[in-house]
Amino acid sequence: MRFSILGGPSYSPDFGLVIGGSALFTFRMDKSDLEVPRSVVPLAIAFMTKGGVKVVSKPQLFFAHDRFRIFGQFQYENFPDNFYGVGYVTNRDYVRGASTSLFRESELQMFAGPYLDLSWERMSDVGEDMSVQEDYVAAGGDASGYQTMSLGLGFTVTLDSRDVPANAYRGVYFDFRAAAYNDFMGRNGAFSPFGRIDMDYRQYHFSEEEMESAILDIYTKMYDKYESDKKLIPHGNLFEMRFEDFEADPVGMAGKIYSSLGLSGFEEARPAMEKYAGQKYSKNVYHYQDHTVRLVEEHWGYALKQWDYDLA
């Protein structure tokens, strides 16, 4: 599993100072399946100084060689809200209460399946003026508060050609979903039956020049950071090697790793390693363009020299 965290403050008259943060977790549902896109679970949370919290998560899970997907949205909100009336004129002329503020590249894939939307809202500590407001009373609210629950059932169809769903560089994403909301599905009867249609279209384009620049820049920063920070690792806790050395003698190099890191159990594990290393497999063969070789040598030449690599 991998994750990253991002946070920061904001402010609004309604909520006061808001301290929020977000995290993105990525992982594979099946670690042995390297072809399936990595599942992602973004999580955002915000705390408000005027009292309140909001949590949102929109997981995207990929299963069975990407033949089955689960996309969801979970949201929890609990905070004071200000009522400004229904409609522009009402909002403009409505008398405020004393506490109210001023203010992966691939062919196009299609997925289809059921869609369920469950919402439950509860309002409490209602302002005196709002408790007698016509629209509020008509919706079922009174002086003690208001609550409603709705359950929509429908279907969703998704067309997806994104290269990397969690952070796409190329491709198209189109999502269509339709749902019907009626009394027999759990509504509280405050509103007339209704339907809902949502469409989400996104097109991603990242030029070859932008892609090359990003890769070259990110690897340089990553490599430099590793080189500057590895001295912080205690002696005997880090072992470095060339992949070609490991490929030439995997079991022998594994023994050196065990010995260098002070690990026990190598002799017990050796038979299984030798059995696995003895299996035959065919490596992919790559033919690099002269342009690619030149870019790598120009930007990463110091790393190639350090590890004695020659691309010629």
- Of the chain, the percentage scoring pLDDT greater than 70 comes to 86
Rounded to whole angstroms, the Cα distance separating 37 from 22 reads 22
Rounded to whole angstroms, the Cα distance separating 154 from 122 reads 24
Rounded to whole angstroms, the Cα distance separating 220 from 72 reads 36
Segment 169-226, tens digit of pLDDT: 788 999 999 998 877 655 555 567 888 999 999 998 877 788 788 889 999 999 999 9
165 near 24, Cβ under 8 Å? no
Would you state the pLDDT for residue 94?
59
Following DSSP, what letter does each residue of 14-51 receive, concatenated?
TTEEEEEEEEEEEE-SSTT-SSSPPEEEEEEEEEETTS
How many H-runs (helices) and E-runs (strands) does the chain carry? 7, 11
24 near 40, Cβ under 8 Å? yes
Distance of CA 91 to the CA centre of its chain: 37
104 near 98, Cβ under 8 Å? no
